[in-house]
Structure 1
Amino acid sequence: MQCPQCGYEQTDENGECLSCGIVFAKWRQRKTVPGPGQSAAPAEDLKETEETEPGILSALLFHMPAEVNPISWGARSLLLAILTLWGVKFIFTPISSDATLSSFWHLVNLPFHEAGHLFFRPFGRLMTSLGGSLMQMLMPAICLVVFLLKTRDPFAGSFSLWWMGQNFIDLAPYINDARSLSMPLLGGNVGRSSPYGFHDWEFILKETGLIRFDQTIARLSHGAGICLIAAAVVWGGFLLVKQYRLMRNQSTG
């Protein structure tokens, strides 16, 4: 049979959908229009049904494949463990440290950062400077949308969310350096010996009058990264638990 809400194929014996979680009996009860002389379902049952049935967003975030490959599940579990440990390292790295900027992920983010300057150049000097940081956020955001809407792979989406959180943490030391200008920049210079505008966040915060809030903004960026990484790990772990249950049902079926 197919789930009447999300279309997920499963055995007829299931009382609720393994993918979106709706209760089939309550779904049929809600969709049945009472005929002449028949009474409608009690309001309490309808209310419970409405609360049980997930919306479109829930179906996207927690979509399950038709089958779960044990090897793929094991590889994803290993990836989640690595991302969890990596995320903990980023979370507890001080903003003032250079460790984040010398990490592997900084090298991944750097090409997108530099491409952002070129992409946003037609929108003026301020947007050119801001464009590098914006592009760092746009790339994982685009991947997140594609994985959820196009490939229907929410676990890959959780990785994109993790990557977005890492980008927030990656930007925090750069923002924090807006006044001290001691961070090594691309090309080997530091901000204080470079022309005005070469250090993105010095230019952004001075032009917007927010330079005195540089450390506060850096802490907010770091905090946002922590929240996104934690949410991504919880999301990915929840999906793997659901996939494990589905895999166990497949083996017993």
Structure 2
Amino acid sequence: MLLKKIIAICLLPYAVWLVLFYRYHFLDGANLLIHEAGHMVFLPLGLTLHIIGGTLWQLVFPAVVAGYFWRRRQRYESAVGCLWLGESLMYTAVYVGDAMAMILPRVGGPIHDWNWLLHRVGLLGQCQTIAWGLHGIASAVVLLSILYMLLDVFGLSGLVNPHPLSCLGQPNQ
């Protein structure tokens, strides 16, 4: 439990950094690999799903990790997975925000996923607004994740009841 407390306390400044000063860093290398794998997973499903599949897979992967631990009632570990999801969403926000300028390097070829997708739906000119919205959602996910981790390791997780109807007790048999 001490190690979890230390990790949660160390992750607090990291979470603040993500929200206020996010820049590409080590975890994004893993996100990029997962993103590129997503393109391959969705390749047989048509061009649109192939292109959006990278981002979709990149977000689904940490969500599945978080869900796996949640089902096992490992709330702290689930919160770490949610923190990863929030960080991955921030990485996505940067990519979406780059849709018009296309400055970021691309690994899989000349197509910029979000330039193609947003142009197709007529929202390319809104890429910065969409990116800021995603960053806001990502920030909420990151901050709620770190808050839950801190509540869990310092014995306050009862304040955040994962089963809101448990106060009703068990049904009579």
1:26-58 deviation line (CA, Å, top 9, x unaligned): xxxxxxxxxxxxxxxxxxxxxxxxxxxxxxxxx
- The DSSP-based 3-state class of the residue aligned with 2:103 is coil
Amino acid at match of 2:52: L
Query: 1:85-104 residue pairs with structure 2 within 5 A?
Result: 85-93=13-21, 100-101=23-24, 103-104=25-26
User: Aligned to 1:107, which of 29, 41, 47?
Assistant: 29
Could you tell me which residue of structure 1 aligns to residue 92 of structure 2?
A: 171
State TM-score, norm by structure 1: 0.59
Could you tell me which residue of structure 2 aligns to residue 148 of structure 1?
A: 70
Query: 1:36-75 residue pairs with structure 2 within 5 A?
Result: 73-75=1-3
Taking the aligned partners of 1:232 and 1:121, their CA distance within structure 2 comes to 32
1:91 Cα offset (Å): 1.1
Taking the aligned partners of 1:206 and 1:220, their CA distance within structure 2 comes to 18
Could you tell me which residue of structure 2 aligns to residue 11 of structure 1?
A: none
Query: 1:2-81 residue pairs with structure 2 within 5 A?
Result: 73-81=1-9
Amino acid at match of 1:132: G
Taking the aligned partners of 1:82 and 1:159, their CA distance within structure 2 comes to 12
Taking the aligned partners of 2:12 and 2:47, their CA distance within structure 1 comes to 38
Change (3 A) 1:244 1:201: closer
1:244 Cα offset (Å): 10
User: Aligned to 2:151, which of 218, 225, 238?
Assistant: 238
The answer to which structure has the higher helix fraction is 2
Which ranges in structure 1 are unaligned for 5 or more consecutive residues? 1-72, 95-99, 188-193, 246-253
User: Aligned to 1:133, which of 55, 59, 72?
Assistant: 55
Taking the aligned partners of 1:182 and 1:236, their CA distance within structure 2 comes to 36
Amino acid at match of 2:136: G
User: Aligned to 1:210, which of 123, 126, 134?
Assistant: 123
1:138-174 deviation line (CA, Å, top 9, x unaligned): 111111111011x320000010111111011111111
State TM-score, norm by structure 2: 0.85
Amino acid at match of 1:180: A
1:97-117 deviation line (CA, Å, top 9, x unaligned): xxx22x011112111100100
- The DSSP-based 3-state class of the residue aligned with 1:201 is helix
Q: Which has the higher contact order (CA 8 A, sep 6+)?
A: 2
Taking the aligned partners of 1:89 and 1:113, their CA distance within structure 2 comes to 23
Taking the aligned partners of 1:229 and 1:174, their CA distance within structure 2 comes to 18
Find out whether 1:183 has 2:111 as its counterpart: no
Amino acid at match of 2:41: F
1:219 Cα offset (Å): 0.4
Could you tell me which residue of structure 1 aligns to residue 39 of structure 2?
A: 117
Taking the aligned partners of 1:145 and 1:168, their CA distance within structure 2 comes to 17
Change (3 A) 1:244 1:229: closer
Q: Report sequence identity in percent.
A: 27
Taking the aligned partners of 2:151 and 2:48, their CA distance within structure 1 comes to 41
Which entry has the higher C-alpha Rg, 1 or 2? 1
1:161-197 deviation line (CA, Å, top 9, x unaligned): 111110111111111111111122227xxxxxx64xx
Taking the aligned partners of 2:149 and 2:16, their CA distance within structure 1 comes to 15
1:122 Cα offset (Å): 1.7
